[in-house]
Chain A
Amino acid sequence: MVQLVVPSDLVFVLLAAVTIIAAILALQAKELIYGAIALGLSFIGIAGFFVFLDAPYLAMLQIAVYVGAVVVLILFTIMLVRREETEAIAELPERGQGAIGLWLAGLLAVAISGVAALAGPNLPSAPQPGELPVASLGLVIEAEYPVPLLILALLISAALLGALVLAKVEK
């Protein structure tokens, strides 16, 4: 992987800033399409976290699946709705909402830091930095989670069959 020369804390803060600001923009955007783009940016920020954690494979899949497919789906839906309707939806938030949100965020922060402080020394140690080959990821998934893997495979084949059926019906 690329060697990072900047201090890792700075990278973390920057990535967090990008992700969070993009997420806020996604919620606050007046025009829905800007919201969708901001959501894509936020997903890319999360992919950045994966790269930062030495998991480039996950990062690439995050970009391909979330930005490449989920955001496209959202954009597609927005475009099928007429423009006037999207403008009507984008109304200002009510007055109390911001304060409630802040309170909830504060509570969550307190709860998380409390749990972290309690667990303190017992937290699982961070994995050694260094490259994790994709093959080992596959081995872990297959050895430790065979049942969920099978269920996922079933789900995906069911979805594929469903797509085939839909394609047939159209004809």
Chain B
Amino acid sequence: MKLIFKEIIIPYKADRRLFLAVPLALVFLAALPFAVIPFGQNWVIANLDVGIVFVFAMTSLFPAMILIFAWASNSKYPFLGGLRSLFQQVAYEIPMWISALSVVMLAGSLSLVDIVNAQARIWFIVPAFLSFIVFFISIMAELERLPFDLPSAEPELVAGWFTESSGAIFMLQFLALYMKLYLMSSLVTVLFLGGWWGPSFLPQPVWFIIKTLIVATFIIIPRGVYARIRVDMLIKIGWTRLLIIGLANVFLTVLLISTGLTAALGI
């Protein structure tokens, strides 16, 4: 609330229109995918056939918005932060898609509701454990959380791409970032942790929210544990390790399905 009434300081020579428009677009983009996240059996706004692709399409627009904002601030630190944010998010998007692919293959559907329904007996974290790890690391990089917070590294870049923002602009950006955090946590819940399924003494949405909050906590906790990694390490891990583990896991999933093991597990 305090942030709303603070003055919005627009840097000298900044691109006014873009500077003001991008934070709004970010919040919009972060809010839109919640429409397809199922909180319970009938607790979903729109059961899209292509739900998971929709979520990924919306999140793939984030780096472009961040880069535009960084450019519009017309200042050194946001620009460097924006570039870092861009290559980090683009690099980790691919392992993220590929690790989600094996879940889609297991469920046989792109709809998030069907994916959760397929986990009624066994959560996908069991048959697709590797993919869970790859997905988790990728979303931590996507969300720019420690140890992947290069784009907003305080000692080097002041505050990264939102250095120049203040007041309501800063509030909107922070809101968008935290909405993206909860969006990704709920996506982990949907894809790997069985969505709304749980013992029946609590209603389904409550289970869903509990799981999401636990995942979000695990995304935030490493902040106090790990140091920040170097840029070249970041890119190397993304493009060589995670990608190969993700692809290997896709083949593993094909093997699991074709040998009938998944059918035996009751998926």
Contact = CB atoms under 8 A, between A and B. Distances in A.
Interface string B39-83: 000000010111001101110110110011001000000010001
Interface string B210-239: 000000000000000000000010011001
A10 interface: no
A33 B57 contact: no
Contact of B86 (A2, A56, A72, A170): A72
Interface residues of B, number: 30
A71 B64 contact: yes
A1 B239 contact: no
Nearest to A72: B64
A56 B49 contact: yes
A134 B110 CA distance: 8
Nearest to B56: A64
Q: Secondary structure at chain A's binding surface: helix, strand, loop or mixed?
A: helix
B90 interface: yes
Contact of B68 (A33, A56, A60): A33
Contacts of A67: 60-61, 64
27 contacts: A2-B46, A33-B68, A37-B68, A56-B49, A57-B49, A57-B50, A57-B110, A60-B56, A61-B57, A63-B58, A64-B53, A64-B57, A67-B60, A67-B61, A68-B60, A68-B93, A69-B90, A76-B67, A76-B83, A133-B49, A134-B49, A134-B50, A134-B110, A163-B239, A167-B235, A167-B240, A171-B236
